[in-house]
């Protein structure tokens, strides 16, 4: 966890990571969400660094989140992947959730690809679909830029217009079409969790314009945009949201669906990386 000063802790974490990585420097950061961590197994010549060995990093307690950095080549690009992420519902602050994003940017990553499993609010979506994030609604009630230290990293007031990079979204759509992998594109809403949403909340979120919902991503994206990173976000629709078609989501369902879409997810992300 981040203890003491944020900037000092980032300095210490960067020093440890650079020592472990040697001359390797990533240009793409990957965050692999629930059920999607198997992509990290495809990284060539991997350097494995458990979160717990990095100053300031919390440990993953979520089901299926390995909780380590994996550095190496994927799709012809030098990448630094988080095999698992940190969530607010695990007890981490917004800055602790954002910490690895700031760290990966310091190590050289100018692009962030963040992924997760999400529930579908949009009734035209189907379980197993992939959805490119076009925009987000941060309903966590938190923002990692609050405080004085992030203001020393970059100006605290910054635009979130096109938070999800237009060119990267187009590249993702084109790559999916080439691979014959159908994709949706819509607005993602992030919550603190860990309880799933109520049917009344889902009806409200639909009225707000949300297409998918889950318990991650928003704070990561805010941190990335604060530092000027380009961002691509993509969800696996692992379930229909609570009350949609009578759905009552469960953690087990999320991981079962992810297993069935593992191969296409890996093909899609690798294809995107190959054309960056």
Going 136 to 130 to 165 to 93, the CA torsion angle's sign is: positive
Write down the CATH number for the domain with range 6-274. Answer: 3.40.50.1580
Residues making up the annotated binding site are: 34, 65, 85-87, 117, 197, 216, 239
| Secondary structure tally for the chain: helices H, strands E | 7, 9
What are 71's two structure tokens? Answer: 């550095």
Distance CA 84, CA 34 (A): 7
Judge contact between 133 and 220, C-beta under 8 A.
no
* Domains in the chain: boundaries: 6-274
Task: Identify the band that residue 66 occupies on the pLDDT scale cut at 50, 70 and 90.
Answer: confident
| 14-60: pLDDT as tens digits | 999 999 999 999 999 999 988 788 999 999 999 999 999 999 999 88
**Least confident segment among 4-8, 54-58, 182-186:** 4-8
| pTM flag (> 0.75) | yes
Which residue, among 100, 102, 98, has the nearest Cα to 140 in the 3D structure?
Answer: 98
Distance CA 119, CA 220 (A): 19
CB within 8 Å of 214: residues ≥ 6 apart = 33, 116, 117, 118, 119, 188, 190, 191, 235
Residues making up the annotated binding site for a purine D-ribonucleoside are: 197, 239
Backbone angles phi, psi at 171, to 5 degrees: -60, -40
Residues making up the annotated binding site for phosphate are: 34, 65, 85-87, 117, 216
């Amino acid at each position: 966890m981040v203890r003491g000063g944020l900037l000092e802790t980032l300095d210490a974490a960067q020093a440890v990571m650079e020592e472990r990585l040697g001359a390797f420097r990533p240009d793409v950061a990957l965050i692999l969400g629930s059920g999607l961590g198997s992509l990290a197994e495809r990284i060539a010549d991997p350097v494995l660094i458990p979160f717990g060995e990095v100053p300031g990093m919390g440990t993953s307690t979520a089901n299926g989140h390995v909780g380590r950095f994996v550095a190496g080549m994927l799709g012809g690009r030098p990448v630094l992947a988080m095999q698992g992420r940190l969530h607010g519902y695990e007890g981490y602050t917004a800055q602790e959730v954002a910490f690895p994003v700031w760290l990966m940017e310091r190590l050289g990553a100018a692009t962030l690809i963040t992924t997760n499993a999400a529930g579908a609010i949009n009734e035209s979506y189907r379980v197993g679909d992939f959805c490119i994030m076009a925009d987000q609604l941060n309903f966590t009630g938190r923002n990692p830029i609050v405080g004085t230290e992030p203001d020393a990293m970059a100006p605290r007031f910054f635009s979130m217009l096109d938070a999800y990079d237009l060119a990267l979204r187009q590249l993702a759509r084109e790559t999916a079409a080439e691979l014959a992998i159908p994709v949706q594109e819509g607005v993602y809403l992030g919550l603190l969790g860990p309880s799933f949403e109520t049917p009344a909340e889902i009806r409200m979120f639909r009225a707000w314009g949300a297409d998918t919902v889950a318990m991650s991503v928003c704070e990561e994206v805010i941190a990335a945009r604060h530092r000027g990173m380009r961002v691509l976000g993509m969800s696996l629709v692992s379930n229909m949201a609570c009350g949609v078609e009578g759905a009552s989501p469960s953690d087990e369902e999320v991981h079962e669906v992810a297993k069935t879409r593992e191969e296409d997810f890996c093909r899609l992300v690798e294809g995107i990386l190959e054309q960056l």
